[in-house]
Structure 1
Amino acid sequence: MNLLTMENPVFEVYVIAAAIMALKIMLQGWMTVFRMLKSNSGLASPEDLQKGLINKDPNPKQLEINDYVDRSRRMHRNDLENIPAFFAAGLLFVVVDPALWLAQLLMFGFVLARLAHFAAYATKQTHEVRATFYTIGSLIVIYMAAHALWQALT
């Protein structure tokens, strides 16, 4: 059986989990834009102060850090630091043909950990709460990568 087709249930699990995570990354960017527009602040670059259809009354204060906007930007950066590793490790995990139950546990576990991390960050939970969800997701990616490496070496 070709492992990278929808006939492989493990690949199907990966496709679902990876698609959810791709949407998470992209929607987080849109959340940041929404927050910038809503607060009329938190712009990232000096050229953003040019007058235009959206920014009709530019003000240098728009470049000041706004926690409402910056919190979303930090969540986005965190996604960009973690989710691409899942894309790679998850695909490597698929090609070593693990048990379906294990793939479901790990891949959907990663998705749940990232969504819980988002909820914790968005609701200003303590670092320990966020770190717990980060750690769960990180250990899942490390396990999948190590499992794939082990299978390749043995």
Structure 2
Amino acid sequence: MVVLSPLTGYFRHQGNVFSNPEDMGSLKEKDKKPIFDDPMVERVRRCHLNDLENIVPFIALGLLFALTSGASTTTIVWHYRIFVVARLLHTIAYIGALPQPSRALSFFAGLVVNVSMAVQIIMKNWNSF
């Protein structure tokens, strides 16, 4: 997720694709038109949004899982590892435009980790709810 912001900037600079006039600095006045539909910039932006939609819940669930589930350290660490690898593979598949089901499989692997942690948190703490 951290790499995608600079990557978006790289593709914006590479193709002179800017969404704000003040970012267009050295471009000629006739070329200073905001562009919102560059395919590569949009691909990276969508990948970044997908990361935000999945990593933020993982952080919350991962913290609760570690603190309240009673799971072993090994179980917790394997959940974290699988999620991180799944998201890295998802990003590579998204940015590289790899054929499906590569992106879908990596997305669902991360989703399964989040669901697994949520279920274990609920099961362990059911009486507290």
Residue 94 in structure 1 maps to residue 66 in structure 2: yes
| Higher relative contact order structure (alpha carbons within 8 Å, sequence separation ≥ 6) | 1
Give the TM-score of the pair, scaled to structure 1: 0.73
Q: Which residue of 1 aligns with 2:8?
A: 32
Distance in 1 of aligned mates of 2:32 and 2:48: 24
Partners of 1:40 and 1:62 within 8 A in 2:
no
Q: Deviations over 1:22-42 (max 9, x none)?
A: xxx23211110111011111x
The gaps in structure 2 that reach 5 residues or longer are: none
- Percent identity (aligned): 26
Aligned-partner Cα distance in 2 for 1:106–1:69: 31
RMSD: 1.8
Shift of 1:51: 7.0
CA distance in 1, matches of 2:3, 2:28: 27
1:66 to 38, 42, 50: 38
For 1:51 and 1:125, the matched residues in 2 are separated by 31
Equivalent pairs, count: 125
CA shift for structure 1 position 56: 3.4
Q: Distance in 2 between the 1:138 and 1:63 partners?
A: 33
Q: Which residue of 2 aligns with 1:119?
A: 92
Q: Is the 8 A contact 2:94 2:103 kept in 1?
A: yes
If the length of structure 2 is used for normalisation, what is the TM-score?
0.86
**8 A contact 2:21–2:33 mirrored in 1:** no
Extract unaligned runs of 5+ from structure 1: 1-24
